[in-house]
Structure formats: C-alpha cells, structure tokens
Amino acid sequence: MKFVVSSKALLQQLSAISGVIASNPVVPILENFLCEVKQGKLTITASDLQTSVITELSVDAKESGSIAVPAKILIETLRNLPEQPVTFTIDQASYNIEINSENGHYRLSGENATDFPKIPVVEEGHSVEVPADVLASAVSNTIFATSTDELRPAMTGVFLNLNGSNGTFVATDGHRLIRYRRTDVASGAKASIIVPRKSLNLLKATLPSDNTPVTMQFNASNIFFKFNNFRIICRLIDERYPDYENVIPKDNSNHMVINRLDFLSSLKRIAIYANKTTHQVRLKINGTQLHISAEDLDYSNEANENLICDHEGQDIEIGFNARFLIEMLNNMESDEVVFQFSAPNRAGLIVPKEKNDNEEVLMLVMPVMLNNYV
C-alpha cells in the first residue's frame, strides 16, 4: 500500500486526536494510530478503549489498506519536517513502514491493523444537533467543576439532561456546582447521561469556534459526536448522578451585585496572602461596602481590600475558597454578577446579572469555616 499526503495537513489531524492516547495503555497496540486508506481517503483512529477519536483527510492513493503506526515516532517525525508532500509505503506482509520526504528516508515497524480494538457503534439511540459554539460554551462552563476523585465516578463527568424544552449541563465536585442550561439544546425524547471529563476535554480541543452543526447520538452506553471530518465516540459513565437540585438553596435573602472584573482582580491579589491549604478568603458585606480579606497565620501574611457593591439584605460575613471563586468568575462573561447568600454556613450562589438569550448559568459554592480573627 502506498499513499502521498501533505506533512502539515497530516500533522494537524494527528495532533488533534493524539490527546486520547494513554502513556501506558492497557493494550499495547493503543500506542498506535490506526491508519486506513480507502478511495483516496485516509482515516486515522486513536483510542484508549474508553474514548475513540477518528479523523479523515484526502490523500493521493491508488490502493486500499490498513496499518497500525506508532503514534509518538510518527508525530515527532512530522513535527520536525517542513511543509512538503511525504510518501508512505507499507509492506502489509511484514508491517514495515517507509516514509520518504524530499531529502529523507525513514523506516519504522507497524502492527497488524486487525489487532486494533473495534470502535463501538451507537445503535437505537437518541440524536440531537447542536451548534459547535453552543456545545463548546456548555463544556467550558462546566468541565472545570468536575471531580478528580475516582471513588465517586459519577462526579468525574458532566451530567447532561435533555428534554423537550432545554438541555441542562451539570458538574460538581462536592464543593461547588455548576448548572448550565440552554433552551436551544432540546430533544424530543427525555434522556440523562454522564459524559467523562477526558472525552469532553478532547471534544473541546477539536470543536470549531463557529456554529458548525455537531451531531450528538447516544444510547445507554456510548455517545457519538460528529462534525466536519471528526468523530468522537466515548463510553458513558454508568452511575447515578447526585440529586443536585436539592442542594441549591431557594431562599436567599442577601443579594450583592458587583462588577465581575473588579471583584476577580481583587480576589487574585488577596488570594496571594491566603493560607496555602485552605485558600480561605473572608467576605464581609456592610451596606454598600464589600470588605475582602485573607491571612496566613503561619507566615504572618495578611491582606484586605474594599470594593463598592449594591447590596440588599442584612450584613453578612462569609468565607470561601478563593480558587473556586476565581475559577467561577473567570468562566463568566457578564460585566456584573449577583451573589446570593442566606447564611454563613450555607452555600452561596453566583449568577450573571445580564442574561444571554437561550442561556441560564448558575454557580454554587460551599462556604468554608471562618477563622476567629477580626
């Protein structure tokens, strides 16, 4: 089998899908790309058994065939080649691969393509079409709040609930919770699934930034994303997701409206002086004044700042993990945000003041116990 392809075009496609390859895969052949040539199309597959990514590009080829090519060597070779046509010649009996460039010749050993695991197919499932920019926004707004605790597998992914009126994306790690709802993402049939964080990171990295339609098909075990020349298939997390609606406080008598960027900048400065274990910052709201402070008793470090805010309700003093607040505010776009509190020992809510069409964002963060300094 022989084919000619642009080194730059091939490297772009391989780089986009290489993130799925594990450093020490369970099955050694998964250190390879599966390359299949048919009717002038090169189809490349990378997989870690849980997630598979497939891409296609046009090549100059007169025959069909398939081979498993070592991923690391191939990518490093192409990365160090200037843009030029490269010729691949594969001996399908010995699995030897020869790569010829304008002034170079490289030989490496491949493996039998039939040993590569079969990619699952989504059958008898639901199908939804979503614009790429909408899907990218949903992933970006939730994925940072997923848990890394493998003992709670349901929380290591993003929960997606679809019904006839909207699509709700939820992520939580037990300390914070994000609920991102879109009225322009809906399905005729009701469905709830949990998509793993790694798969969504790969999806986010390959999604175009425009409104290219993305087809999502899913059943009880797998979800399939298709857009442009990419396909991503991943195994869903088969667990029960926590009842997140019950932890969202309904009666919040304290409302504080503040400029998001001013508050974010202040938190970044104050957090430098916070305890490196708890990252605790103290928010004290008194009338239209927000007093932000932190200290690290171990090193005698402390800092405080005052900001102007609009506040309705009783004065309140409450502590939060600064890293969580910073990450949440970083992932919002609204110029002003509304903080909703009920008590120092109950969760606080952050919502954008300016609402976007078809979008509803709610971020919840649990408080931390305040130290007894004044």
pLDDT of residue 372: 58
Q: What is the pLDDT of residues 124-140, one digit of tens each?
A: 778 899 999 999 999 99
Q: How far apart are CA 331 and CA 348, in angstroms?
A: 17
Q: What is the pLDDT of residues 303-337, one digit of tens each?
A: 999 999 999 999 999 999 999 999 999 999 999 99
The first and second tokens of residue 140, run together, are 């970006």
| Residue 10 pLDDT level (bands cut at 50, 70, 90) | very high
Question: What does pLDDT average to over the chain?
Answer: 94
**Which among 23, 18, 22, 19 has a CA at the least distance from the CA of 33?**
18
Torsion sign across C-alpha atoms 178, 179, 183, 184? positive
| Residue 369 pLDDT level (bands cut at 50, 70, 90) | confident
Output the DSSP codes for 243-300. Answer: -GGGGS-S---EEEEEEHHHHHHHHHHHHTTS-TTT-EEEEEEETTEEEEEEEETTTT
pLDDT of residue 38: 95
Percent of the chain clearing pLDDT 90 (strictly above): 88
If one looks up domain 2-115 in CATH, what number appears?
3.10.150.10
pLDDT of residue 371: 64
- Among 180-194, 292-306, 327-341, the minimum mean pLDDT is found in 180-194
- What's the whole-number mean pLDDT along residues 169-176? 97
Question: For domain 248-365, which architecture applies?
Answer: Roll (3.10)
CATH class held by domain 126-165+186-245: alpha beta
Output the DSSP codes for 184-245. Answer: T---SS-EEEEEEHHHHHHHHHHS-SS--EEEEEE-SSEEEEEETTEEEEEEPP-SPPP-GG
Query: Would you call 119 helix, strand, or coil by DSSP?
Result: coil
Helix (H) or strand (E) holding 68: strand 65-70
Residue 183 clears pLDDT 70, i.e. is over it:
yes
pLDDT of residue 365: 97
DSSP state, 355? P
- Would the pTM count as exceeding 0.85? yes
| Residue 373 pLDDT level (bands cut at 50, 70, 90) | very low
Residue 186 clears pLDDT 90, i.e. is over it:
no
Burial class (CB in 10 A: 0-12, 13-18, 19+), 244: middle
Query: Would you call 167 helix, strand, or coil by DSSP?
Result: strand
pLDDT of residue 7: 96
Q: What is the pLDDT of residues 62-110, one digit of tens each?
A: 999 999 999 999 999 999 999 999 999 999 899 999 999 998 999 999 9
pLDDT of residue 374: 43
pLDDT of residue 172: 97
Q: Where in the chain is the domain with CATH 3.10.150.10?
A: 2-115, 126-165+186-245, 248-365
